[in-house]
Structure 1
Amino acid sequence: MTAAEPRSGGPRTPRQRKREALERLAQDADAWVATADAGGEPCLVPLAFWWDGEAVWLATRDTNPTGRNLCDSGRARLSFGHTRDVVLVHGTARMVTREELPAGVGDAFAAKDGWDPREDHPSYVFFQVVPRLLQAWGTAAEMKGRTLMRDGEWLV
């Protein structure tokens, strides 16, 4: 089974879920990104991403609702996969301009996603989202023990 296929069968061990969650972060093309403004108005959009092994890198315009919300709150929820095999990440976000982008991040993002925000409109910026909480589950049988990371530390 690959990370892109739906889950079936019995519950996975936490170790297996962690391994498959990391595979999903490395292989999936897009993530659902949830943010909210200061008044609590939610915003949910799919965005391309790149996982560097410690953080998720997103690119969006700093002028759209998602970009503004990430700048203002510094918080995001990211969802990977589908409803029968989901990885949910709650993380802290920081904006990184093209000029501040660490070496290799832009090239790796572009190579994975086939799109280079640095060559698009000047309002595109990057956001580094560092996971603080990571949960992974497939069905109700996996709800117990779904939290694999808490306060930025792996529990498994």
Structure 2
Amino acid sequence: MQTTEPPRAPEDRRRDVLARLRTERDVWVASAGGSGLPYLVPLWFLWDGEAVWLATRATNPTAGNLRDHGRARLALGDTYDVVLVDGTVEVFGAGDVPPAAADAYAARHGWDPRREPRAYAYLRVLPHAVQAWRGEHELAGRHLLRDGERLGGGEGPGGGGRPDKDEGGGRG
């Protein structure tokens, strides 16, 4: 497929990424076990304006991998409209998750993992790298955040080098 549209400017990509984080419900979560075996699952998520919140059973491989290694890759979209988020992970049990995050997650999805009979883990993914592109013509400018530093110039949402912080809240 040949594209005749010009690539989006960094600010347009940033705005599009923030809109998707606020409105989409599902994200692909990639992690790896100690043996390096990759693991990929779809989970519901919540964007709180600074980090992505996930919930999964505490005994699931994803929870263990993220707890043990502290890193995740998240993916939104299909192969034409890609958003990749690499981040560091902080794991909370249902008893120690910040109530505001758990309440917002429950309100967004109509399901509260704290009320489940089995133990659930909440996973807070703080982005340190973000890539976004729509087609080959946007590959050159796909990095919006690298090593926690904003790329593409100019200040915007989040300031202080954080392009992905949004003051609009996390519930789409």
Give TM-score scaled by structure 1 length: 0.91
- Tell me by how many angstroms 1:90 deviates: 0.5
CA contact (8 A) 2:28 2:76 kept: yes
The residue number in structure 2 matching 1:124 is 120
What one-letter code is carried by the residue in structure 1 that aligns with 2:24?
A: D
Instruction: From the superposition, tell whether residues 129 and 12 of structure 1 become closer, same or farther in structure 2 (CA, over 3 Å).
Output: same
**Which blocks of at least 5 consecutive residues in structure 2 are unaligned?**
153-172
Offset at residue 67 of structure 1 (A): 0.7
1:1-12 equivalences in 2 (<5 Å): 9-12=5-8
What amino acid sits opposite 2:128 in the alignment?
R
Q: Find the counterpart in structure 1 of residue 56 from structure 2.
A: 60
1:40 counterpart = 2:31: no
| Aligned-pair Cα RMSD in Å | 1.5
Q: What residue number does 1:16 align with?
A: 12
How many percent identity over aligned positions? 51
1:15-66 C-alpha deviation (Å, 9 max, x unpaired): 1000000111111010000000011101000000000111000001121110
**1:84 shift after superposition:** 0.8
Equivalent pair of 2:94/2:119 in contact (CA under 8 Å): no
Q: Separation in 1 of the partners of 2:150 and 2:108?
A: 25
Aligned positions of 1:50-89 closer than 5 A:
50-89=46-85
1:146 counterpart residue number = 142
Residue 122 of structure 1, CA deviation: 3.1
Tell me how far 1:116 sits from its aligned partner.
1.2
Q: When you count strand as a share of all residues, which structure comes out higher? A: 1
- Is 1:49 aligned to 2:42, yes or no? no
Query: Do the aligned residues in 1 keep the contact of 2:46 with 2:105 (CA within 8 Å)?
Result: yes
Q: Which moved more, 1:128-137 or 1:100-109?
A: 100-109
Measured after TM superposition, the shift of residue 8 of structure 1 is 8.7
* AA matched with 2:145: M
Separation (CA, whole Å) in 1 of partners of 2:143 and 2:83: 10
- Is residue 26 from structure 1 mapped to residue 31 from structure 2 by the alignment? no
Whole-Å separation in 2 of the counterparts to 1:8 and 1:26: 29
How far apart in 2 are the matches of 1:146 and 1:63? Answer: 35
Residue identity in the other structure for 1:20: D
Deviation at 1:83, TM superposition (A): 1.3
Deviation at 1:115, TM superposition (A): 1.5
The TM-score with structure 2 as length reference comes to 0.83
Q: Which runs of 5+ in 1 are unaligned?
A: 1-6
